[in-house]
Amino acid sequence: MLTLNLVQKIIIWAVPVIFAITLHEVAHGWIALRLGDPTAKMLGRLTVNPIRHIDPIGTVIVPLVMLLLPGGFIFGWAKPVPIGVRNFKNPRRDMAIVAAAGPLANLAMAIFWALVIRLGFALDPSLPSLGRPLALAGVAGVFINTLLMIFNLIPLPPLDGGRVAAGLMPRRWANTYEQIEPFGFWIVIGLLFIGAFRFMWLPIAAAMGFLSLFAGIEPNQLMLLLMSLLR
């Protein structure tokens, strides 16, 4: 198994983490614009420039601190893209579509990073100094995007899965369900603290096994490379 020092880990994780978090938010804003809400565009948030989306705590400090903790579990968030729900023709339906755009963007990015792994291994025999870090960055990208996709699909407001679920419910049920949202962030923090989200490892492993097809490597090889980044 590969052995990496802290500086190498930070360099490998930096780009995949920042873009996984920020492009997730861009996807929300872009779909909202397509559905009639120009709020994110007017505020300059429909850009791939991560500086416009970085939350100093959620995008920088939290991922860095979690990388330093035993196990190296990586997580974070960007500044939420503002959405003007009143601009939608069908607010409940359109808000559900906007919410689903974030996890779908993470899926697309996970596939992209899986192809980066394939490229890294293709370059490795002749250019090991380039191929190996590229493949490892791809592994980091696959993992962080898979994690964010599955985490955000949990049906708990204000997570994307909660908004999608509310959009699919009868209006009366949705009104009651959405009352959880003011407390949702603290519920999520509490569940993370007690380790209740360990169940996510099963779908994460299954998704990464699927993505290994795009990477051109065996699922167990992908997981071994991931362990070298997390330990």
Q: Residue 37 is encoded by which pair of tokens? A: 């809400």
Q: Shortest CA distance to 219 belongs to which of 74, 114, 105, 128?
A: 114
Phi then psi for 117, rounded to 5 degrees? -60, -45
Catalytic position from the list 25, 178, 181, 218: 25
Q: What's the distance, Cα to Cα, between the start and end of the chain in Å?
A: 10
Q: Shortest CA distance to 100 belongs to which of 167, 53, 49?
A: 167
- Rounded Cα distance, 132 and 130, in Å: 6
Residue 178 falls in the annotated catalytic set: no
Catalytic residue list: 25
